[in-house]
Homo-oligomer: A and B are copies of this chain.
Amino acid sequence: MTFEKIAIVGSGAVGLYYGGMLARSGKDVHFLLRSDFEAVQKDGIRLLLPDEEVHLDNVNAHRSAGSIGPADLILVCLKTTANEAIPTLLPPLLGDATAILTLQNGLGNEPLLAERFGEERVMGGLCFICLNRVGAGVVRNFFPGSLTLGEHSGPPGERARTVCDLFRAAGIDCHLSANLLETRWRKLVWNVPFNGLTIAAGGIDTQRILSDEFLTGEVKALMIEVQRTAAALGIAIEDQFLENQIEITRPMGPYRPSSLVDFLDKRPVEIQSIWEHPLRDAERLGVPSPRLRLLHALLRALC
C-alpha cells in the first residue's frame, strides 16, 4: 500500500500547509486551486513555520480535478461551507483504491463522504494547529501542533498507519485515533467556544477572550455543554481535558481561530459543522445546551 500521488482538494490554509509539507517530503502532490491558482503556479507555496520558512517551487497547481486525475490519497481540505462542491470535485480523482481523508472541521464530514463514495474509502483527520493563510499561497503556522487520523469505520489498520507515517515523514506530529468521533468531539470542546465567542464578542482574538473573566467563564460553560452531549453519545471527556484546553490556548497569544478569520474576511463561516450539528445531537439526546443554542442563533445572524 503506497500513497505516492496525493490530491489536495481545497487549498486554503489547511490544504496548502499539509499539501506543502507532503510535497516537501518528496510526495507527488497536486493542488486543486481556485483563488490562489495563478499565484501558486507562478510563485509556488510559502509556509511560514515557527522556526523556518519553506518555499516550494514548481508546485503542481490545477484548476480542475480532471487535470489531476486519479490519486492514491485525497485530502479534503475544503471549508465545510463548500461541501456541496464535493460530488463534482472528487469523482475525477478516484481510482479503485483511492482513500479520502477529510481534514475538515466539526461534525458530519465523514458521513457525507461515506454516503457518496462508500464507507471503505473514508478516513478523517483532525488538525490541532494554528494556521492562517496570510496571502495567496502563503500560510503562517504559529505552533507545530499535531494531526490525529482515523478510519471512519472501525479501528485504524494498515492503511491508517501508512498514511500516518506519510505525515510523520513530512515532519508532522501525527497520531492515530481508535475513535474518530471521540476525537472530533474533543476538538469541538475547543472550537465551539473559541471559534464562536471570538466572533460573537465582536471579532476579538483568543487572548482577549481569556483576559476577560466573564467571557472565560462562558468558554468553560460552553465546554461543559459540549462535554455533556459527548457523554450522552457515550464519549467520555474528562474535566481535566477541558481545563487543559484553556491552558493550551493562553500561550497561543492573540490567535484568531479559522472561523473568526473567515468572518472578518466576510467569507462563509462553518456554522453547520461546528455549532449546528452538535446542537442537533444535544437536542436529539435531550442534553440542555442553552448557551450553545444562544451562540448558534447569534452566529447565524452575524455570519
Report which A residues bind B (CB closer than 8 A): 197, 200-202, 204, 208, 212, 214-215, 217-218, 221, 290-291, 293-298, 300-302
**Contact assessment for A221 and B294 in the assembled complex, using a CB-CB cutoff below 8 Å:** yes
Bound state CA distance, A290 and B217, in angstroms?
Answer: 11
**Contact assessment for B202 and A297 in the assembled complex, using a CB-CB cutoff below 8 Å:** no
**Contact assessment for A212 and B293 in the assembled complex, using a CB-CB cutoff below 8 Å:** no
Bound state CA distance, A290 and B224, in angstroms?
Answer: 12
Closest to A219 in B: B297
Among A201, A294, A298, A302, chain B packs the most CB atoms within 10 A around the CB of: A294
**Contact assessment for A218 and B302 in the assembled complex, using a CB-CB cutoff below 8 Å:** no
| 10 cross-chain CB contacts under 8 A | A200-B200, A200-B298, A202-B302, A204-B301, A214-B293, A214-B300, A215-B298, A217-B293, A218-B294, A221-B294
Bound state CA distance, A217 and B202, in angstroms?
Answer: 22
Given contacts A302-B201, A302-B202, contact A218 B297 (CB under 8 A): yes
Bound state CA distance, A217 and B293, in angstroms?
Answer: 9
Which residues of B are found within 8 Å of A297, using beta-carbon distances? 201, 212, 214-215, 217-218
Bound state CA distance, A200 and B293, in angstroms?
Answer: 14
Tell me, rounded to whole Å, the shortest Cβ–Cβ distance linking A191 to chain B.
Answer: 17
**Contact assessment for B218 and A293 in the assembled complex, using a CB-CB cutoff below 8 Å:** yes
Copies of this chain in the oligomer:
2
Which residues of B are found within 8 Å of A214, using beta-carbon distances? 293, 296-297, 300-301
Closest to A290 in B: B290
Which residues of B are found within 8 Å of A221, using beta-carbon distances? 290, 293-294
Tell me, rounded to whole Å, the shortest Cβ–Cβ distance linking A24 to chain B.
Answer: 41
Closest to A288 in B: B290
The 8 residue pairs across chains A and B that have the minimum distance between CB atoms? A214-B297, A201-B301, A290-B290, A202-B302, A218-B297, A291-B294, A215-B297, A218-B294
Bound state CA distance, A204 and B218, in angstroms?
Answer: 23
Question: Which one of B201, B290, B300 lies within 8 Å of A298 (CB-CB)?
Answer: B201
Bound state CA distance, A137 and B165, in angstroms?
Answer: 73
With A201-B297, A218-B297 given, can you name 9 additional A-B contacts, CB distance below 8 Å?
A: A197-B298, A212-B301, A215-B301, A217-B297, A218-B298, A221-B294, A290-B291, A291-B294, A294-B294
Closest to A208 in B: B301
